[in-house]
Amino acid sequence: MADGIGFVALMIVFGVIAIVAGFLGFGLLAGIAGLLAKIMFFVFLVVLLIWVLRFFIGRRNRHIF
């Protein structure tokens, strides 16, 4: 789980870099950082969806005996 938290932290850092760079007028840097944050966000959503599906499928396949 620690890797997931690090991934979200990096996503937030790239988002903050994009906001600050955009505010300071560095359009290219803001665009790149924003794109990286967006890509990481969607990768995080896919990984989260896979994890949730595996969690529920795994619980359903467990037997009481």
Q: pLDDT tens, 44-62? A: 889 889 988 888 887 766 6
* Domain carrying residue 26: 2-61
What is the total count of domains within the chain? Answer: 1
Task: Please state, rounded to an integer, the average pLDDT across all residues of the chain.
Answer: 80
- Rounded Cα distance between 57 and 16, Å, is 36
Q: Do the beta carbons of residue 22 and residue 37 sit within 8 Å?
A: no
The 8-class DSSP code of residue 62 comes to -
**Whether the model pTM is above 0.85:** no
